[in-house]
Amino acid sequence: MRELALNILDIAENSLAAGAKLVRIAVEADFGADAMSISIEDDGKGMSEEMLARVTDPFTTTRTTRKVGMGLPLFKYSAESAGGEFSIASAPGKGTRVRATYRIGHVDRMPLGDFGGVALQLVTMNPHTDFLIEAAADGQRGALDTRELREALGEDIPFDAPEVRSFLKEYIRENLVDIFGGRL
Amino acid sequence: MKSLEELRALRDKMKSQTDNRSVAAENETVIKVGMATCGIAAGARPVLDALLDEADKRHLHDVKISQTGCIGMCRMEPIVEVFKGGQKYTYVLMTPDKARRVIAEHVVNGNVCTDYLIGGSAN
């Protein structure tokens, strides 16, 4: 993984696989404190304590085709190699919350990358899941809530219709990307 | 600034178009991009973007592009599966440029890009 945004996409895919109805993603930066955090929270099926204890081990996976699962280990590593911390909480039937923190100026911190592109992909390619995606930096906040967008657009027009997609692209740039001013 | 008001206006404008679009589903091409950890790490996102962009530019309304999980050959990622005319074509080690070529040559003109297929000469 070369971008934190790709880690976000990867972890959010786990939420989708867990049958989440709502996925909340937040990227927050405090440039004064040289700190940033990423959290992904879902209301999917969650996991047992026993699974939770093993889940950052690369040789743990829910897949049946092979025994390797790299998503969470890579995300954990991205934080711990950049002066930050990683945490995960989960309860069966309730959902899962994953959080990673970073020192923004740490030499090994991966760039955020194309966060807007990832947000667009998640929202347009997963019509049956709602997303609340938030960005915050130095007191400024922006958000995208697919429940709000769905209400405005109506039920019968999909988010991946070309016209809607280009609206969302701009909407995401204004609300979730510009806030960081290219500094992440 | 983009507002929700603008989205409501878009809804009204598009209402009349949706009906025409759903009719054309007969000859649909389905394209799937592997988007598990292996695919993402290998560059599946730019490949997906290129497919969407190219399909959009050419106004291909009968092409359905979606993502899927791990296809099972992680070292061949990014993998793009094209389902067309009752056949499945598995393109491996894809790049955005190759993806655009697949849309132009295979999806639009019906000439399979054999070089990029699994077992093809480009891999």
In this model, does residue B112 exceed pLDDT 50? yes
pLDDT value at position A31? 95
Q: What is the 8-class DSSP label of residue B36? A: S
**Residues of chain B contacting A63 with CB distance shorter than 8 Å:** 70
pLDDT value at position A132? 98
Q: Which residue, among B11, B33, B37, B54, would best test binding to A if mutated, counting the most A CBs under 10 Å from its CB?
A: B37
Cβ contact B38–A148 (<8 Å): no
**Residue B36 is assigned to a structural domain of this protein:** yes
Q: Strands A86-91 and A95-103: what pairing?
A: antiparallel
Count the Cβ atoms, other than its own, within 10 Å of residue B106: 21
**Residues of chain B contacting A122 with CB distance shorter than 8 Å:** none
Cβ contact B2–A174 (<8 Å): yes
Question: What pTM was computed for the model?
Answer: 0.89
Nearest-angstrom CA–CA distance, A76 and B119: 36
Cβ contact A6–B1 (<8 Å): no
**Residues of chain B contacting A157 with CB distance shorter than 8 Å:** 10-11, 14-15, 18
Distance of CA B86 to the CA centre of its chain: 17
**Residue B14 is assigned to a structural domain of this protein:** no
pLDDT value at position B22? 45
SS3 of A68-110: the string is CCCHHHHHHHHHHCCCCCEEEEEECCCEEEEEEEEECCCCCCC
Strand arrangement, sheet containing B87-91: B63-68, B29-34, B80-84, B87-91
**Residue B43 is assigned to a structural domain of this protein:** yes
A72-86: pLDDT as tens digits: 999 999 999 999 999
Strand arrangement, sheet containing A140-145: A86-91, A95-103, A35-42, A22-30, A130-137, A140-145
Q: What is the crossing angle of helices A4-17 and A115-125, to 10°?
A: 20
In this model, does residue B21 exceed pLDDT 50? no
Cβ contact A167–B38 (<8 Å): no
B25-81: pLDDT as tens digits: 567 899 999 999 999 999 999 999 999 999 999 999 889 999 998 888 999 999 999
The residue among B82 and B10 whose pLDDT is bigger is B82
pLDDT value at position B18? 54
A:B CB pairs within 8 Å: 77
Distance of CA A138 to the CA centre of its chain: 20
Tally the domains of chain B: 1
Residue A40's SS3 state is strand
Amino acid letter, A4: L
- Spans of chain A below 50 pLDDT: none
Give contacts of B 19-78 with A, CB under 8 A.
Answer: 35-38, 40-41, 45, 48-49, 52, 56, 66-67, 69-70, 72
**Residue B68 is assigned to a structural domain of this protein:** yes
Nearest-angstrom CA–CA distance, A68 and A74: 12
CATH code, domain with B32: 3.40.30.10
b/e burial code for range A137-171 (CB count within 10 A of at least 16 → b) = beeeebebbbeebeeebeeebebbbeebbebbbeb
Domains of chain A by start residue, with CATH: 4-180 (3.30.565)
**Residues of chain B contacting A148 with CB distance shorter than 8 Å:** 4
**Residue B77 is assigned to a structural domain of this protein:** yes
**Residue B4 is assigned to a structural domain of this protein:** no
Instruction: Report the run of H or E that residue A25 belongs to, with start and end.
Output: strand A22-30
- Residue B107: which domain range? 22-116
**Residues of chain A contacting B72 with CB distance shorter than 8 Å:** 65
pLDDT value at position B24? 43
Q: Identify the residue whose tokens are 């967008």.
A: A149
Q: What is the crossing angle of helices A162-172 and B44-57, to 10°?
A: 130
**Exposed / middle / buried, residue B64 (Cβ in 10 Å: 0-12, 13-18, 19+):** middle
Q: Is B18 on the interface with A (CB under 8 A)?
A: yes
Q: Is A125 on the interface with B (CB under 8 A)?
A: yes
pLDDT value at position B111? 96
**Residue B82 is assigned to a structural domain of this protein:** yes
Residue B91's SS3 state is strand
Q: Are A94 and A100 in contact (CB under 8 A)?
A: no
**Residue B17 is assigned to a structural domain of this protein:** no
ipTM: 0.85
pLDDT value at position A1? 83
